[in-house]
A and B are shown apart, each in its own frame.
Chain A
Amino acid sequence: EPEVTQTPSHQVTQMGQEVILRCVPISNHLYFYWYRQILGQKVEFLVSFYNNEISEKSEIFDDQFSVERPDGSNFTLKIRSTKLEDSAMYFCASIGTGANYGYTFGSGTRLTVV
């Protein structure tokens, strides 16, 4: 079964450093998302991406965050200057057309900011 692949599985970074979280969505999917889950909290929407541009972003997704699909297969989330409160699981997800319930999530990247 096709899957969404995320790397790395765990990233530890120092506060103020830049991190890039990587995702390979399912190949024929067109809509891409990043969600995050702070330990013990809800899964929260960060950003959606379609046709090489952001379709929607949440209040969390401020100027420190950016997304990119650099080469037609990878989908990245960059955090420019990490803060302690950015520590969370970050999930990439994708869906095909005509199925806005059928998200496939990756296994996540656990980001720890120290």
Chain B
Amino acid sequence: QKEVEQDPGPLSVPEGAIVSLNCTYSNSAFQYFMWYRQYSRKGPELLMYTYSSGNKEDGRFTAQVDKSSKYISLFIRDSQPSDSATYLCAMSKPGANSKLTFGKGITLSVRP
């Protein structure tokens, strides 16, 4: 089983739709959970992070972590064409120097 698995894409939605992006993981040592956004030929940009289980909301974005199910989600409300990008989940163990383990990413296209 891969350490981090992300729903395959691509995903195309109409403007205004609610988008749900998901990842599962197998390593119970992961404590920090992140979502990155990546535009073509650019570096990943941190969008949301959550420590351990719970929800976190930032504007139109909500990140959820369910450690019991080893499942994380990112919800985007009222999606906009500018949200079109590749979304990567990533996670790490505790420790100041811990590396990130990424999912493969899903490409989202929001149609005007």
Contact = CB atoms under 8 A, between A and B. Distances in A.
A87 to B, nearest CB: 14
B104 A56 contact: no
Given A42-B105, A100-B32, A100-B92, A105 B44 contact: yes
Contacts, number: 65
**A-B CB proximity, top 6 nearest:** A105-B43, A101-B49, A45-B99, A43-B102, A101-B32, A42-B104
Given A48-B99, A56-B97, A103-B100, A43 B44 contact: yes
B42 A108 contact: yes
Interface string A25-69: 000000101010000011111001010000110100000000000
Nearest to A4: B43
Contacts of B99: 33, 45, 48, 56, 58
Given A42-B102, A100-B95, A100-B98, A91 B43 contact: yes
Interface residues of B, number: 26
Interface residues of A, number: 30
B21 interface: no
B96 interface: yes
